[in-house]
Structures are given as C-alpha cells and as structure tokens.
Amino acid sequence: MKHSLSPEYNCKLTKQERLIYKKEVDFLFKKGVSFFYYPFQVFAFQNKDIFDPGVKVLFSVSKKKFKKAIDRNVLKRKMREAYRLNKHQLKNHKSDQLVVAIIYSGGKVLDYKHIEIKIQMINKRLLLLSGNEIPFFKSEKK
C-alpha cells in the first residue's frame, strides 16, 4: 500500500514517541480504558496533566502464544511499521497527551497488509474516543 505523505511529514518513530517507562506503563494499565479489535487488545489513556505532550505507544506480543522470539519480533516489527506509516491519523486528537498500548493477542502470525488495516482502524477508534470525553476521562478501572 503506497502512502501519499507530504515531504514535511516525519515518518520516524522516535524514542520520545515510545512508551518505555515502567511508571507510565503501570499507570496506563491501571487507569486506562481498553478495547479489543482482533487480533489486538488496546489500552489507552489521555490526560494533559500527567504526561509529557504527544502520543506515546507501546507494542507487545504474548510470549505465551508465540514461544519463538523470532515470531514475536516479526510481529512487533510489522506493528511498528504499520503504526509509523499511519501515525499521522492521530495528530488530530484533541488531547495534549495520548498513551497507547497495542498488544497482539491473536493465535497466528498475520501478514503485514492485515496488520496495517487493523492499525488504521485502531487509530480511527482512538480518535473517536479522544473526541468523546466521557469514556476516556470518566471511566477508570478500580
């Protein structure tokens, strides 16, 4: 699938855009909302007061379902690439901060085309959720 991006658009996935700190990850899983979009489970949280501005994302693949590290790494590589090429969809979100964890929970390795389509749909759903403050700000796990 070819992408028609403007030359000034940055297609890199920098370290500042990756969710790497344990404190932020723990907070996301405790306070964030989740939804399932086969084969991905997505956790998301937005708040302009807690984190630095921008979108931060975490990619994970279950070790229980994929015993071989090469399979997990291939899936994470495909997920990162699909997100990197489609992250421009999330640049329009209304919050100053959006933290997302995308967890691959399917049982088999999908090809890149299917993963990219699912990531695009996840981005659209995240935009819808960030536009509606009720499910994102009001719901917290107890």
pLDDT digits (tens, 9 = 90+) for 36-52: 999 999 999 887 666 67
Q: What is the pLDDT of residues 119-136, one digit of tens each?
A: 999 999 988 877 654 344
Tell me which amino acid residue 17 is. E
The domain of 124 spans 15-136
Number of structural domains found in the chain: 1
Q: Is residue 86 part of a domain?
A: yes
Q: How far apart are CA 111 and CA 43, in angstroms?
A: 23
CATH of the domain at 99: 3.30.230.10
For residue 45, is it within any domain? Answer: yes
Residue 5 domain-assigned? no
The first and second tokens of residue 41, run together, are 């489970």
Length of the chain, in residues: 142
Cα 111 to Cα 98, 117, 141, distances in angstroms:
27, 11, 34
Q: In terms of DSSP bridges, do strands 40-46 and 97-104 run parallel, antiparallel, or are they unpaired?
A: antiparallel
Percent of the chain with pLDDT over 90: 50
Residue at 118 is within a domain: yes
Task: Assess if residue 8 is contained within a domain.
Answer: no
Residues of the chain with pLDDT under 50: 1, 7-8, 133-142
Is 22 within a domain?
Answer: yes
Model's pTM, two decimal places? 0.82
